[in-house]
Structure 1
Amino acid sequence: MQQTFALPHHISNLKLRKEGYTVEVNVNDYLDIYCPHYNSSQRGVAEQYVLYMVSYRGYRTCDPQLGFKRWECNRPHAPHAPIKFSEKFQRYSAFSLGYEFHVGQEYYYICEYSVIYLSYTHFKVYCDTAVYIIILIYSI
């Protein structure tokens, strides 16, 4: 049976930091990433993220250059609701830019975090507060 795992992506979600967060999924399951969302009255400070799929080495060394950009949460004041990205763990993708996942493999994500202070944005990979996610793929 297909499952969907929801992951609110926010720096205060402590279980995503340091030791990482492991999600065990089956082929055809989904992982939904919800970006931070602030209503229009919260214009002072906002969080933004870039999530990278990286190699194991990139995961252990907190190096996004050892992977590629997967999602970008760059609209913290999106109208109506937070931006959501969904990853479907499928063996084959019909899309040329789609990613194919293999049973028995581990996939690693890290996050570049930024804070917007009014009109100033500071981007950096903060390894002490970086988000680490491990995806383990199982067959159905």
Structure 2
Amino acid sequence: FYRGDYHIDVCINDYLDVYCPHYISPVLDERAERYILYMVNYDGYSSCDHTAKGFKRWECNRPLLPNGPLKFAEKFQLFTPFSLGFEFRPGREYYYIC
């Protein structure tokens, strides 16, 4: 998603799967794409700035894994048993940038 009004509608208990860049054929390590994905507020999203009130959600830093792409799953849930988990509220908007 690049420079557009992209959004998805989700419900509580839905999942969002994020697949990181992955290379099957040989590629120089320094040319392989790597990303850090941040959750930000609306201002951070509109200015593409994670520094004000953003925090790191995932790091796509292993594009040459031999067994496939790195995948992260976000579960949209009201409560989480995990200390690093995130709790979502219905009707609110959440923003990700990389």
TM over 0.5: yes
Q: CA RMSD in A?
A: 1.2
- Deviation of the 1:40 alpha carbon: 5.3
- TM normalised by structure 2 equals 0.92
Query: How many residues are paired up?
Result: 96
- 1:40·1:77 contact (CA, 8 Å) conserved in 2? no
In the alignment, is residue 33 of structure 1 matched against residue 18 of structure 2? yes
Using the TM superposition, give the Cα deviation of residue 17 of structure 1 relative to its aligned residue in structure 2, in angstroms: 0.4
Write the deviation string for residues 92-135 of structure 1: whole angstroms up to 9, x where unpaired: 00111110000000000110xxxxxxxxxxxxxxxxxxxxxxxx
Secondary structure at 1:57 match in 2 = helix
The match for 1:104 is 91
* AA partner of residue 97 (structure 2): I
TM-score (norm 1): 0.65
Distance 2:95 2:15 in 1: 15
**Unaligned 5+ runs, structure 1:** 1-15, 112-140
How many angstroms apart in 1 are the aligned matches of 2:8 and 2:89?
15
Higher strand share: 1
Aligned-pair CA distance for 1:39: 2.2
Aligned equivalents of 1:47, 1:32: Cα separation in 2: 18
Could you tell me which of 33, 57, 60 is aligned with 1:47? 33
Identity of aligned residues (%): 58
In the TM superposition, structure 1's runs of 4+ consecutive aligned residues that sit over 4 Å from their partners are none
Quote the residue 1:89 is aligned against: 76
- State the shift of 1:20 in Å: 4.1
Separation of aligned partners in 1, 2:83 and 2:5: 30
> Hey, what does 1:70 align to over in structure 2?
57
Q: Which runs of 5+ in 2 are unaligned?
A: none
